[in-house]
Amino acid sequence: MYAPGHSGCPGCGPSTTLIQVTDLLGKDIIVVNATGCMEITSTLYPQSAWRVPYIHSLFENAPAVASGVAAALKAQGNDHTKVVAIGGDGSTYDIGFGSLSGMLERGDDVLYVCYDNELYANTGVQKSSATPYGAATTTTPSGKVHHGKETNRKSIVEIAAAHGIPYAASASISFIADLKMKLNKAAKMHGPRFIAVSAPCCLGAGFDGGITMKVARLQVQSRMWQLYEIEGGRLKINFKPNPPKPVDEYLSLQKRFKHLTTEEIAEIQRRTDANWERLMTLEKAWLEPAATTPKA
Amino acid sequence: MIIPLSKPGTSIHTKTGEWRAMRPVINDPKCIKCGICQNYCPEGIMGTVGKVPDIDFDFCKGCSMCAIECPVKCIDMVKEER
């Protein structure tokens, strides 16, 4: 459903994401795309890589447009066509966050897929709020005073789930079976659904396009990206790497982390471990609700 | 009134194969038809899962992802000569 000839970089992770998403969801969908790499590379006027109905409006309003499309389908009595909103991390985490929150709150029947490459690749590698701690971008460069981004990334899946939506999940492009399982699950549901797919950017992160999947896999194996789903308020971790790989193995492949000192890598490891422990606690609390209920 | 519309799938008129510096060559007998390269290919041009990959060289950008991910290493990257 996503034709070749698009102008994505050789080894582009997000392009693979879109191929997988559109192939799995089939012909009976309407795609609403936010501005970003995938909009630019797939729709060089007068050509288009999309073989499904497609609309692009602005950076900030893909969820709002998707809400409108869903409302129009409902008014027509169409209950089979699925509305799929697609945005990068820039439009999802930052610029379109308000309209995304609105869409999730209103309960519109839209499946939102975020391809998360952790930066604004299209405009020249600026920092987004998905950029991890320590990463150098053009707006968080590494120099004598500052060493890359100084804040943590936002946990967008948990934020989406906090709206009380039926399904929110994180997936990775290197774990295709897991991604397909989550897409299948979400496709069968109604109401707002949210899936964030980690899809590394070879250009922005600074590695050879051929190892995109290796980088994505190491990101999950080192627990810097976690595969989990939140269904009806219950969190379930889908993949627990045992033993986990050290974060250094993931960081050392990428130019954006080249400036990090040993202490900073240890700090990233500490934050990663702490975040993982937090998720494990959440999973445990929700899996065994009785055990956590205080006794009267 | 002119509406600026693009026709579906017309990107196939852009032959991105011209970007290629390295060319993947498949060693058929070694292939186990696992479908990993076909699922991972960012162009989606490696044919159907379950068959030996059939690469569309009109579009292959030569990123070498298939060669690196192949579990039996049956894809070699060779220098493209035109």
**What are the tens digits of pLDDT across the range B17-76?**
889 999 999 988 889 989 899 999 999 999 888 888 899 999 999 999 999 999 999 999
Residue A203 domain-assigned (yes or no): yes
Alpha carbon of B15: minimum distance to chain A alpha carbons (Å): 6
Residue A171 domain-assigned (yes or no): yes
Distances (CA, A) of A7 to A40, A101, B77: 8, 31, 21
In this predicted structure, what is the pLDDT of residue A20?
A: 92
Among the partner-chain residues B11, B13, B44, the one whose CB lies closest to the CB of A42 is B11
Q: Which of A1, A2, A6 to mutate to test the interface with B (most CBs of B within 10 A)?
A: A6
C-alpha–C-alpha distance, residues B19 and B10, integer Å:
19
C-alpha–C-alpha distance, residues B18 and B82, integer Å:
10
Work out how many domains chain A is built from and give that number: 1
Minimum CA–CA partner of A23 in chain B: B44
Question: pLDDT (tens digit, 9 = 90+) per residue, A22-51?
Answer: 999 989 999 999 999 999 999 988 889 999
Alpha helices in chain B, H assignment, sequence order: 36-40, 65-69
In this predicted structure, what is the pLDDT of residue B49?
A: 87
Note whether A11 contacts B40, CB cutoff 8 Å. Answer: no
Give chain B's contact residues with A (Cβ, < 8 Å). Answer: 4, 6-16, 19, 39-45, 56, 58-59, 61-65, 67-69
Alpha carbon of B72: minimum distance to chain A alpha carbons (Å): 16
Extents of the domains making up chain B: 24-79
Note whether A4 contacts B45, CB cutoff 8 Å. Answer: yes
The better pLDDT of the pair A150, B82 is held by A150
Range of the domain at A269: 13-292
Main-chain phi, psi angles of A131, to 5 degrees = -65, 130
pTM (whole model) above 0.80: yes
B58 chain-A contacts, CB cut-off 8 A: 4
Residue A1 domain-assigned (yes or no): no
In this predicted structure, what is the pLDDT of residue B3?
A: 77
In this predicted structure, what is the pLDDT of residue A288?
A: 65
The secondary structure of residue B75, as a DSSP letter, is E
Minimum CA–CA partner of A202 in chain B: B63
Note whether A4 contacts B12, CB cutoff 8 Å. Answer: yes
SS3 A153: coil
Contacts of A142 (CB under 8 A, 6+ apart): A136, A148, A259
In this predicted structure, what is the pLDDT of residue B4?
A: 73
Note whether B11 contacts A12, CB cutoff 8 Å. Answer: no
Note whether B44 contacts A6, CB cutoff 8 Å. Answer: no
| Overall size of chain A counted in residues | 296
**What ipTM describes this predicted complex?**
0.90
What are the per-10-residue average pLDDT scores of chain A (296 residues)? 89 92 92 92 89 91 94 92 93 92 92 93 90 92 88 92 92 93 92 94 90 93 93 89 91 91 92 93 76 53
The CATH code of the domain that includes A135 is: 3.40.50.970
Class of domain B24-79: alpha beta
